Amino acid sequence: MYSFGRKFGFAAIIVLAAVLILILVNRAVYGVADENGAYCKSAPGLREVTDAETPAQSKFSTADFCWASGLSVARGSRYRVTLRIPEGEPDWFDYDVHTDVEGYPAELGDYVHIVATPIKRRWRADWFKPIARIGNGGSDEYVLDPVTPLPPLPAGVPRGQRVCVEQPDRFKPIDAESAARVKPRAGRRTLIAEIRARSSGELFLYVNDAALAIFPSWPIDKFYWNNSGVAEVAVVRLPD
């Protein structure tokens, strides 16, 4: 029994060490590729953001691994970034998780997201949290927290609420019928955040999700395939 226990403990250490190495290698591969502009592709015809609110060229989609706004910001300037889910559009969903523009934490019992945390793009930010970045390369990123707290959810309703989904493929978004049965989160469909640009360049956005970069046959954006939800984006330069 003692010999078995030692062998089991040794095997467990080997497995944990291998997992840790894979996590660190994945982070390194993702980080190098990201800093060298592998994932963010610039939009044509950039427009400079001024003190008049400037809308993005297209709607932001939570399924985009790195969405190009087509808007250019300048180093040292302060900006207000507004994400607004348009009227008639459903809330945001991470497959069967109903959430909103603030994202959601992995709570006790949410084993899928707890286990996947080491391959989340921003480890310390919540899942589905909107992240802004400046430039298609480098690492100039900003977690978009609301300047004014969003209205609280009803008692007992988590920020990431699991709902019934009729289609069973976890790499596809929630079906339209299931999404339509969910009551929109009034008051939590607009996010207003402020950033001070540390560099100059195009503004990109993404929601915080997992990225597995170490397997060539695994698309880097595969964990984004089951995301659904859009937002209109506008940016304005603020006075200092």
**What DSSP assignment string belongs to 163-200?**
---S---TTSPPPHHHHHTSPP-TT-SEEEEEEE-SS-
The Cα–Cα gap between 132 and 56 comes to: 13
Going from the C-alpha of 79 to that of each of 93, 138, 183, the distances in angstroms are: 27, 20, 32
- Per-residue pLDDT for the chain (240 aa), expressed as one digit of tens each? 456 566 666 666 777 788 788 899 999 999 999 999 999 999 999 999 999 999 999 999 999 999 999 999 999 999 999 999 999 999 999 999 999 999 999 986 788 899 999 999 999 999 999 999 999 999 999 999 999 999 999 999 999 999 999 999 999 999 999 999 999 999 999 999 999 999 999 999 999 999 999 999 999 999 999 999 999 999 999 998
- Running DSSP on this structure, what letter comes out for residue 1? -
Burial class (CB in 10 A: 0-12, 13-18, 19+), 78: middle
Comparing CA positions, the residue from 85, 80, 21, 92 lying closest to residue 54 is: 80
- Model's pTM, two decimal places? 0.92
The Cα–Cα gap between 50 and 106 comes to: 38
| pLDDT digit string, tens, across residues 122-180 | 999 999 999 999 999 999 999 999 999 999 999 999 999 999 999 999 999 999 999 99
Q: Parse the chain into domains and list their residue ranges.
A: 2-238
